[in-house]
Amino acid sequence: MTTVLNPTRRSFVLGGALGGGGLALGLQLPFGPTAADAAEGPAQVIRDANGFPEVTAWVVIRPDDTVVIRIARSEMGQGTLTGLAQLVAEELECDWGKVTTEYPTPGQNVKRARIWRDFATGGSRGIRASHEYVREGGAAARTMLVQAAANRWNVAASECVAAASVITHTPSGRSVTYGQVAEDAARLEIPKGVKLKDPKDWKIAGKPLARLDTLGKLTGAQVYGTDLKLPGMLNAAIRDCPVQRGSLRSFDATKVSRMKGVRHVLQVGTSAVAVVADTWWQAKTALDALPIEWDEGAGAKASSASIAFRLKEGLTASQAFTGNSNGDARGALATATKTVEAVYDYPFQNHAPMEPMNATARYTPERLEVWVPTQNGEASFAAATEAAGLPADKVEVYKINLGGGFGRRGFQDFVTQAVLIAKQIPGTPVKLLWSREEDMTHGRYHPIMQSRLVGGFDAQNRLVALHMRLSGQSIIADVAPANLVNGMDPLTFQGLYQPGEHGFGYTVPNLLIDHAMRNTHLKPGFWRGVNANQNAIFLECFVDELADAAGADPLEFRRQLTVNHPRNRGVLDAVAERIGWSKPAAPGVYRGLAQMKAFGSFVAAAAEISVTGGNRIKIHRIVAATDPGYAVNPAQIERQVAGSFVYGLSALFFGECTVKDGRVEQQNFDTYESMRIRHMPKVEAIVMPTGGSEPWGGIGEPTICVAAPAVLNAFYRATGKRIRSIPLKKHGITFA
For residue 554, being part of any structural domain is answered with yes
The rounded distance, in Å, linking the Cα atoms of 241 and 256 is 19
pLDDT digits 0-9 by tens, 134-185: 999 999 999 999 999 999 999 999 999 999 999 999 999 999 999 999 999 9
Give the sign of the dihedral formed by CA 564, CA 568, CA 572, CA 577.
positive
Q: What is the pLDDT of residue 733?
A: 98
Residues 628 and 598 in one domain: yes
Q: What's the total number of domains in the chain?
A: 3
Domain boundary pick from 214, 245, 268 = 214
The rounded distance, in Å, linking the Cα atoms of 550 and 589 is 24
Residues 127 and 255 in one domain: no
Residues 415 and 528 in one domain: no
Q: What is the pLDDT of residue 44?
A: 79
Residues 241 and 363 in one domain: yes
For residue 161, being part of any structural domain is answered with yes
Which of 358, 327, 47 is closest to 233 using CA atoms? 358
Which of 276, 268, 263 is closest to 236 using CA atoms? 276
Report strand pairing: 234-240 vs 160-163.
Answer: unpaired
Give the sign of the dihedral formed by CA 174, CA 178, CA 181, CA 187.
positive
Residues 6+ apart with CB under 8 A from 414: 357, 358, 359, 372, 432, 434
For residue 521, being part of any structural domain is answered with yes
Residues 371 and 404 in one domain: yes
Residues 333 and 371 in one domain: no
Which of 452, 453, 461 is closest to 337 using CA atoms? 461
pLDDT digits 0-9 by tens, 207-230: 999 999 999 999 999 999 999 999
Extract the runs of DSSP E, i.e. beta strands, from 279-379: 292-295, 321-326, 338-346, 358-364, 367-372
For residue 640, being part of any structural domain is answered with yes
Residues 460 and 373 in one domain: no
Residue 153's domain spans which residues?
31-214
Q: What is the pLDDT of residue 106?
A: 76
Residues 200 and 235 in one domain: no
Give the DSSP per-residue string, 60-93. EE-TT--EEEE--SPPSSSSHHHHHHHHHHHHHT
Q: Which residues of the chain have pLDDT under 70?
A: 1-43, 107-117
Please check whether residue 295 is in contact with residue 249, taking contact to mean a CB–CB distance below 8 angstroms: yes
For residue 643, being part of any structural domain is answered with yes
Residues 94 and 209 in one domain: yes
Q: What is the pLDDT of residue 263?
A: 98
Residues 457 and 388 in one domain: no
* Alpha-carbon distance values, 605 to 246, 596, 733 (Å): 42, 9, 21
Q: List the beta bridge partners of residue 266.
A: 274
The rounded distance, in Å, linking the Cα atoms of 705 and 728 is 16
Domain boundary pick from 381, 399, 433 = 433
Q: What is the pLDDT of residue 43?
A: 57
For residue 440, being part of any structural domain is answered with no
Domain boundary pick from 214, 243, 274 = 214
For residue 12, being part of any structural domain is answered with no
The rounded distance, in Å, linking the Cα atoms of 278 and 431 is 10
Residues 385 and 501 in one domain: no
Looking up residue 155, the CATH number of its domain turns out to be 3.30.365.10
Q: What is the pTM of this model?
A: 0.93
Residues 205 and 313 in one domain: no
Q: List the beta bridge partners of residue 497.
A: 503
For residue 14, being part of any structural domain is answered with no
The rounded distance, in Å, linking the Cα atoms of 417 and 688 is 44
